[in-house]
Structure 1
C-alpha cells in the first residue's frame, strides 16, 4: 500500500479536528437555528426541518449531538410526506403560504391603523415565512412524486 493511500485512509478514520473559533461559530449558529426551529414547532413555519438543520450544524461542532439527527430526520421526512399526501392538503398549504405573504404586505404597508407590531420588520418575516412554506411545499411535492415514480 502506498504512503499517499495510507494517509488518505488515516484522514478519513481520524476524527475531524475543527478550529476552536469555527467550533464556537458552528455551535452558536446551530443553537440559534435549533431554537428557531423549536419556536416554529408551535408558530407557523417549517419547525421540524429547522430543528433538523440546527442539529446537523450543531453536530459538526459537538459530535455527541449527531446521535439525535436520525430520529428527527425520520420525523421531518414523515411530516414532509404528510404535507403533500392529498390535493386538499396541498391546496391548504398553498393558500396558507399565499395568506402569509398577503398578511406580510398588509403589515408592512399598514393600510389599517391599530395593527399590532405593524411595520416591515413583522411584514418581511411573514413574507419570508410564506415564501419558505411554498418553497418547501414544492420541494416536498417533487421529492415524493420522484419517489413514487422510482419506487
Structure 2
C-alpha cells in the first residue's frame, strides 16, 4: 500500500470526520460573526453525513431550503442586483475594518466600544472579503442554474 493510498483511506473515514466536526463547530461560532458561517456549517454537516444518519437527515432539509432560497433570490433582476450590491457592501465594510478609523466611545449593556472598531484589522477584513467572493460565486451559480428568463416579448403588429 502506497502512502497516497493509505492517506486517502484514512481521510475517507477519520480525516473527513475530524474536518466535518471542526467545520461544524466553526460554522456555529461564525454564524453571528462577519463571515460565511452558514456555508462552513453546511460544509461540516455534509462531511459528517457520510458517517452519521442524523447529519444525513439534517442535510436534506437544509439542501431543500437552500435551493428554495436560491430560486427566490434569482427570480427577478432587481433581486439579483440587490444581492450583488450586498457583496459590494461586504467589500466596503472590509475596507473600513482594514483601515480601522477611530469611532466615538460608547457602551451597550455595560460593554464599552471605541475608539477602535471591534475586531478591527486584517482578519475581519479578509473574512468580509471572503464572504463577498462566496456570495458572488453562489449568486452566479444560482443565476445560471435557477434563473428562469421570461419568454421573448412579442410586439403586436398592426396591418393598418
Superposed pair shares fold, TM > 0.5: yes
1:79 corresponding residue in structure 2: 69
> How many angstroms apart in 2 are the aligned matches of 1:118 and 1:41?
18
* Alignment partner of 1:103 is 2:105: no
> How many angstroms apart in 1 are the aligned matches of 2:35 and 2:77?
20
Distance change >3 Å, CA 95–CA 144, structure 1 → 2: same
> How many angstroms apart in 2 are the aligned matches of 1:56 and 1:70?
10
Aligned-pair Cα RMSD in Å: 2.6
Unaligned runs of 5+ in 2: 1-7, 103-115, 150-160
- Deviation for aligned residue 1:46: 5.5
User: Which among 58, 73, 79 is matched to residue 89 of structure 1?
Assistant: 79
- Deviation for aligned residue 1:117: 1.7
1:11 corresponding residue in structure 2: none
* Alignment partner of 1:56 is 2:53: no
2:138 corresponding residue in structure 1: 136
2:126 corresponding residue in structure 1: 124
Unaligned runs of 5+ in 1: 1-17
- Deviation for aligned residue 1:31: 2.2
2:35–2:128 contact (8 Å) kept in structure 1: no
Distance change >3 Å, CA 141–CA 21, structure 1 → 2: closer
- Give TM-score scaled by structure 1 length: 0.69
> How many angstroms apart in 2 are the aligned matches of 1:118 and 1:46?
18
- Correspondence 1:17-32 to 2 at 5 A: 22-32=12-22
> How many angstroms apart in 2 are the aligned matches of 1:39 and 1:84?
28
> How many angstroms apart in 2 are the aligned matches of 1:70 and 1:38?
18
